[in-house]
Amino acid sequence: MQHAVADKQKLINRVRRLRGQVDAIERALETDASCAQLMRVVTASRGAINGIMAEIISGHVRNHIIDPTRKPSRREGEALEELLSVLRSYV
């Protein structure tokens, strides 16, 4: 994932927040939190995982599907944004 060097710190920060959310799941289990509380922290963690996956997919598409050495045509740019929008909705 060489192209992610520019976004490396941003991704590392997301992973650190995710780690905190996973720790919150563990604390909720240890303290016998209610089912509703547990579902909230699990949902937040799932959202964080989906967010980082969307970032990685977006970087991959932008750097491996579209030639990064040239500016995409308008049609290619629109298709790229449409693809990323669809992927984000499924991730």
Sign of CA dihedral 62, 5, 7, 88: positive
Cα–Cα distance for residue pair 14/58, rounded to 1 Å: 15
Cα–Cα distance for residue pair 60/30, rounded to 1 Å: 38
Does the pLDDT at position 7 exceed 80?
no
Correct CATH for 2-90 of 1.20.58.1000, 1.10.3430.10, 3.40.50.300, 3.40.50.720: 1.20.58.1000
* pLDDT for the residue numbered 72: 83
Chain centroid offset of residue 63 CA? 16
Does the pLDDT at position 25 exceed 70?
yes
Query: Cα-Cα-Cα-Cα dihedral of 27, 31, 32, 37, to 10°?
Result: -50
